[in-house]
Structure 1
């Protein structure tokens, strides 16, 4: 029996799963938490070596559990990687060591730089037909900020020692035999440097963002092919790395959204909605991101998606618990809302780090309105869940306006979907009725001839579909 592994490297945790090829059953799993660094307001960083360390630890622990459960390492035919997107890593070509902390996708320090690009060209959509609108989250402004503000990075560029990549690139480089410097089309499509029509770096884009050449950039590959083999940990040495997907694209595949018009929403730290729009990109007029959904092999066509991102989702519930003390555990939410069907006029805008799609206002700040002497903590809890659902509805409406492809169902996953109250509110709010690591395993297995794309739906029958009450 064959097995396929998947590294799921996220913002708050790293996980490793080993799936049975015949059934997608999980044969082993492991996890490690990841901490972030907050040097200033709006700055969010992580240690690239700590990210790597958690991945290696998870690989070791997962392999041990796999063997303990009676399986042979030789039956693990390949490993895929799915990663937090738009988190920027720079390192030294000579030493292989980071030149600065990774700048996480939640970081807002590049706002002045992005504003300057927009002012200079009188529009944020000047590059729309090549890479979509210019937004705060993407990697290229972050890379430019590092070159301008970090002397070690600037010097490394001048001495041809600078290497850039998203988290997938960093992990493949450090884990692979021969230090392979690659990325896949889904991650590259979020950098603002790849033309999403040609799936290659674009000279005009490099010139626009004042980058000298592609020498520092990873080679762009499909999402499903053999990139190299593991060099560490020793127990998994020479296992092929054969799949790479950004985490939200992995969730799209993991939930079986392989037909145009299918969509998923993942609720973790933030929330991310992706809608499959087929084999031609749709350039949003409403503030959404145009992105690559996947490319399942070197000879296959790319499939595209529209995406809307919400900065604060699960982190709002953490705020209720850790900052405000309104709840002491997540289990309290169900009981608190059992007999409550309204917010009592309370509304929350959770703009802790600005607002993402479709507004893109990094200067927005959170607010609570409608408080009265009759307001109870239960009203604030429900208003928090409704705030996330309201933002979801806003993005779905934008997707409807951008694309003529009808959307009939919304598949959901992520930690928040374990909360029945949230699912009911979401269904009622959107009028619509859970899979990230599985998506990474699917593309890795596809490259090895284990899973065919036409059979993906066979492995995605446990997904949650919302229906309004």
Structure 2
């Protein structure tokens, strides 16, 4: 049976417009006119590209610039970034977008603040005295630590970690990346022994440099990013000595960033150079938390799924953390400070989403541009029996299979490129279904609909497939830069552009589209069962030496 009858032979599924709920009688129009006079900049530093977007007070982007930067793969399973190249990309994006903003006749003085959102878990180390990076940043999908993770899982106390920090031991968090650097990179170890090693995730590196580097030594991180390190106690929102001791990290020898709330008028400093010199940095959120904020996920039970390089589903659980019993992560959703308490989320993380599309483009030559994936997938009626488990970095939530490898099942002489393209899109959709099932078991509540954003959400075919597989509507905004918008919202709160979440209820709500499931529950269950069988079959591709990291 075809997966979407409306998607065959080049047809494009047509979602329905979401009914608008805005009520003109509330008198929001004068306020909207006022908000168009205020602007907020948003630095969005992602896994493969950096962008800077300037939003007005209604959440509409008015100027932006984006730059892709180098991906480094020194060995199989290794993934690195040049910290200096990341900084250059940020500086260039700010310069270009600001120039566009000025060319439109706007005034820089009307930009009230800048927010930052960033790829999480990616680990940067630098010399506290010189401000120079001591190694390439180890990116979040990197799996060089799988042997180390095996060792740590056998260590006393390993089974207690998740209850404290919300994260299971895996190659994913920053902690194991730092430990690997300390064990294998002499200059990093020496800096640590000398007490001059600074550690941070990408947000800390950006804030340090934008504030003038070693001269001002602004070394901070927000709670959402700190919750991805495995060093922070999820309950106290502070570094925890038990966690640091487990990883043999001596806090007297390392400069850890101070943990602050995600929205603050002064904690993040200000830009010390460039066209926006002197403007405050007032918000900071890890990218997936920023997307939840940008999707207005302020109520417990709300959720969003971001289809970027990876795919990340966050579910707001309120002001108390829920430690997952079904393979998910517990994390800080956002912390807006003041009298507000931190808000927590359950998270399901999928390592490969858009990167699977890029694999077909760059490695296999199936397409010339990422957005062509839907056209290729629509040349066939279904996946032709193919299932692609895109375990390029093992499998993340809710499976946590470190020794899985990318595997395509069901290839026959009938198989065409379109079948593999469709199976690639489906892989993300199936993993999203597995995460939603785990969230339902952990929370006791079934999601009514799923808000989506990110690059792959541009594909109508992919979003229709997602609705079919999860059996609930998929809700897509017209303006998909929700991650950048979330950072702008955090900054806007800090400088009093908004004071209450209720003031944001109309932001990015116009022209949203709904994808309703259009296959039976039985057919959906049959497809998901086949996916589960493929997942079990992709285990154990590494022999003992490889599993222990001995290459």
Instruction: Quote the Cα distance in structure 1 between the aligned partners of 2:447 and 2:396.
Output: 22
Which residue is 1:213 aligned to?
251
RMSD (Å), alpha carbons: 1.6
Say if 1:411 and 1:464, in contact at 8 Å, map to a contact too: no
Q: Which residue of 2 aligns with 1:281?
A: 321
2:343 paired with 1:303? yes
Distance 1:74 1:146, change over 3 A: same
Residues 250-290 of structure 1 show CA distances to partners (whole Å, capped at 9, x for unaligned) of: 00110111111111111111111111111110001111111
Is structure 2 residue 313 aligned with structure 1 residue 264?
Answer: no
Equivalent residues of 1:37, 1:44 under 8 A apart: yes
- In the TM superposition, residue 327 of structure 1 has moved relative to its aligned partner by 3.0
Runs of 4+ in 1 over 6 A off after TM superposition: none
- CA deviation after TM superposition for structure 1 residue 316, in Å: 1.3
Maintained 8 Å contact 2:38/2:56: yes
Larger displacement relative to structure 2 (87-96 or 144-153): 144-153
Q: Cα offset for 1:93?
A: 0.8
Q: TM-score, normalised by structure 2?
A: 0.82
Tell me, what secondary structure is at the counterpart of 2:200? strand
Q: Deviations over 1:287-311 (max 9, x none)?
A: 1111000011243200000111111
C-alpha displacement at 1:330, in angstroms?
4.1
2:73 maps to 1:38: yes
Report how far residue 88 of structure 1 moved: 0.4
Aligned to 2:198: 163
Kindly indicate whether residue 186 of structure 2 is the aligned counterpart of residue 151 of structure 1.
yes
Residues 110-121 of structure 1 mapped to structure 2, 5 A cutoff: 110-121=145-156
Structure 1 stretch displaced more, 29-38 or 4-13: 29-38
TM-score by length of 1: 0.96
Q: Deviations over 1:8-40 (max 9, x none)?
A: 00011000011111x212121111111111111
Mapped partners of 1:333, 1:140: distance in 2: 36
Unaligned runs of 5+ in 1: none
Give the Cα separation in 1 of the matches to 2:76 and 2:101. Answer: 42
Structure 1 position 465, deviation (Å): 4.3
| 2:423 matches 1:383 | yes
Report the equivalent of 2:436: 396
Tell me, in whole angstroms, the C-alpha distance in 1 between the residues paired with 2:150 and 2:293: 34
Assess, with a 3 A threshold, how the Cα gap between structure 1 residues 404 and 57 changes in structure 2: closer, same or farther: same
Tell me the equivalent position of 2:261: 222
State how far apart, in whole Å, the 1-side matches of 2:372 and 2:245 are: 53
1:409 aligned to which of 444, 449, 454: 449
| Number of the residue aligned with 2:358 | 318
For 1:276 and 1:338, the matched residues in 2 are separated by 34
Contact conserved, 1:416 with 1:422, CA < 8 A, in 2?
yes
1:129 aligns with 2:178: no
Equivalent in the alignment of 1:236: 276
Contact in 1 for aligned 2:122/2:137 (Cα 8 Å): yes
**Which residue does 1:428 correspond to in 2?**
468
Q: Which deviates more, 80-89 or 371-380?
A: 371-380
What is the CA-CA distance between 1:386 and the residue it aligns to?
1.4
2:255 match: secondary structure: coil
Give me the whole-angstrom Cα distance separating, in 1, the residues matched to 2:372 and 2:278: 47
Q: Name the CA shift for 1:55/1:337 in 2 (closer, same or farther; >3 Å).
A: closer
Preserved contact between residue 59 and residue 233 of structure 1 (Cα < 8 Å):
no
Where does structure 2 lack aligned partners over 5 or more consecutive residues? 1-36, 474-479, 519-551
Q: Distance in 1 between matches of 2:242 and 2:513?
A: 43
Q: Judging changes above 3 Å, is the alpha-carbon distance between structure 1 residues 162 and 259 closer, same or farther for their aligned structure 2 residues?
A: same
SS of 2:182's equivalent in the other structure is helix
| 2:485 is the alignment partner of 1:438 | yes
Shift in Å at residue 229 of structure 1?
3.5
2:318 & 2:204 partners in 1: Cα distance? 26
Say whether the 8 Å CA contact 1:4–1:76 is kept in structure 2.
Answer: yes
Which of 501, 504, 522 is matched with 1:456 structurally? 504
SS of match in other structure, 1:225? coil
Structure 1 CA distance, aligned partners of 2:158 and 2:428? 26
Q: CA deviation at 1:406?
A: 3.5
Give the Cα–Cα distance (whole angstroms) in 1 for the partners of residues 504 and 293 of structure 2: 8
**Secondary structure of 1:49 counterpart:** helix
Quote how far apart the aligned CAs of 1:421 are.
0.8
Label 1:27 to 1:179 Cα distance change in 2 as closer, same or farther (>3 A): farther
Q: Look up the match of 1:202.
A: 240
Worse-superposed segment, 369-378 or 101-110: 369-378
Structure-2 separation of matches of 1:108 and 1:162: 23
Q: Which entry has the higher C-alpha Rg, 1 or 2?
A: 2
Does the 8 Å contact 1:60/1:233 carry over to 2? Answer: no
Which residues of 2 match residues 20-99 of structure 1 at below 5 A?
20-21=56-57, 23-99=58-134
Secondary structure of the residue aligned to 1:458 is coil
Inter-partner Cα distance in structure 1 for 2:185 and 2:298: 42
CA offsets, 1:78-98, max 9 Å, x none?
Answer: 000000000000011111110
Mapped partners of 1:151, 1:181: distance in 2 = 23
Map Cα deviations across residues 96-128 of structure 1 (whole Å, 9 max, x no partner): 11011100001111112211111123x753212
